[in-house]
Amino acid sequence: MSSFEPLVFSGVQPTGNLTLGNYLGAIRKFVALQDNYDCIYCVVDLHALTVNPSPAELINGTRSIAAAYLASGIDPVKHIVFNQSRVYQHAELAWIFNCVARMGWLSRMTQFKEKAGKDRENASVGLFAYPNLMAADILVYRATHVPVGDDQKQHLELARDIAQKFNNDYSERIGELGIGIPVEVGDETVNGYLPITEPLIEGPATRIMSLRDGTKKMSKSDPSDLSRINLTDTSDDIAKKIRKAKTDPEALPSDSGGFEGRPEAENLVNIYAALTGTSMDAVLKDFGGQQFSAFKPALADLAVEKLSPIADEMRRLLADPGHIDAVLADGGERASVLAEKTMVDIRRIVGLSA
Ligand code: AMP
Ligand code: TRP
């Protein structure tokens, strides 16, 4: 092998309802990548523990994300769908990475700073070490490509830093064992065992904003349900939320250069473009000069048309949790085989086995 085998990995946390942001920024990309890559899609239940859900919330949330994956069109037979905790090697590698990553690296993570807020002393150690587990999720399969929304960029950079430091620190041993691939680090070439993962963030929907505030990300955890469209919202809910979405009194501009200082207007047009798979300029060819009173109903119809089949299929799947659990168990077994193969090498590389 002269380079790492292409492999896609991504994960979504089973906390709260999935939003239109998760769908457009992540899950829809997961679906598209299936044609060209082997893919592993994970429900990251260990990550969810960092926000202390109740056991019932965690169980239901895990099934619900799995159902969203399947309902959106992810094929769990050709690819792998499972929940993280079934494959203990994620946690094992995360511990090794706890000993590779530096306090300073993690202290710079903006998501930790936001989630921990002012009371940092009282934040859990898990919340702080969260990105190390995320790096382990990816690297325990030596995945090369990771589709995510824009908010995960910094975490993926950390995963690259961890892989690089690991390769550097253990280059000699990796060479002795004959299991490395030459990778460039600056002007030097070292024996790399872990790939330097490529983030896949491009596309129109990397950052869908709140319907109530165009400067804030649409989020599962926003206290206002009106700020987001949930994948499981009814058609009436979707129409109501779009009707109530914050806008401004101006008509829509004639091209995407005209959104200066109008983040809410830009977000709604971006959502329309992402749902139809066109550009904002193409949308504005049809709607430029029109009022929101004309645009919002069109957007609501479009959102309902695209999302309601997924919501219906999720409801159908969730009525049979035994089936979802069986899909996750099967995916977990197949993932375990791959993860264990990597860990046999990594235990030897670091000296946990001879
Ligand atoms: P999370 O809900 O934090 O587990 O996120 C799951 C995936 O959805 C990640 O790849 C996020 O980057 C992506 N995502 C979450 N919110 C948004 C958003 N508002 N716009 C685009 N992508 C998002
Ligand atoms: N941290 C990611 C999020 O909140 C979820 C996640 C966990 C993930 N492990 C991952 C995403 C590995 C991509 C790859 O969205």
Site residues for ligand 1, CB cut-off 6 Å: 12-13, 21-22, 25-26, 148-149, 151-152, 205-208, 217-218, 220
- By alpha-carbon position, which residue is closest to atom 17 of ligand 1? 21
Residue pLDDT, tens place only, 32-61: 999 999 999 999 999 999 999 999 999 999
pLDDT, mean of residues 336-345: 98
pLDDT at 348: 98
Site residues for ligand 2, CB cut-off 6 Å: 9-11, 13, 44, 47, 134, 137-138, 146, 148, 152, 155
pLDDT at 223: 93
| Local confidence band at 189 (pLDDT 50, 70, 90 cut-offs) | confident
pLDDT, mean of residues 323-334: 98
pLDDT of 178 > 80? The answer is yes
Give me the catalytic one of 29, 78, 113, 115: 115
Question: By mean pLDDT, which of 90-104, 141-155, 180-194, 214-228 is the weakest?
Answer: 180-194
| Local confidence band at 190 (pLDDT 50, 70, 90 cut-offs) | confident
Mean pLDDT of the chain: 95
pLDDT of 187 > 90? The answer is no
Residue pLDDT, tens place only, 286-316: 999 999 999 999 999 999 999 999 999 999 9
pLDDT of 254 > 90? The answer is yes
pLDDT of 185 > 90? The answer is no
Q: Going from the N-terminus, what domains does the chain have, and what CATH number goes with each?
A: 8-204+321-350 (3.40.50.620), 225-317 (1.10.240.10)
| Local confidence band at 188 (pLDDT 50, 70, 90 cut-offs) | confident
pLDDT of 194 > 60? The answer is yes
Q: Which ligand has an atom closest to residue 199 CA?
A: 2
Which atom of ligand 1 is nearest the CA belonging to 206?
Answer: 21
HEC per residue, the chain: CCCCCCCEEEEECCCCCCEHHHHHHHHHHHHHHCCCCCEEEEECHHHHHHHCCCHHHHHHHHHHHHHHHHHHCCCCCCCEEEEHHHCCHHHHHHHHHHCCCCHHHHHCCHHHHHHHCCCHHHCCHHHHHHHHHHHHHHHCCCCCEEECCHHHHHHHHHHHHHHHHHHHHCHHHHHHHCCCEEEEECCEEEEECCCCCEEECCCCCCCCECCCCCCCECCCCCCCHHHCCECCCCHHHHHHHHHHCCCCCCCCCCCHHHHCCCHHHHHHHHHHHHHHCCCHHHHHHHHCCCCHHHHHHHHHHHHHHHHHHHHHHHHHHHCCHHHHHHHHHHHHHHHHHHHHHHHHHHHHHHCCCC
Give me the catalytic one of 153, 165, 220, 240: 220
pLDDT of 1 > 70? The answer is no
pLDDT at 2: 63
pLDDT at 3: 85
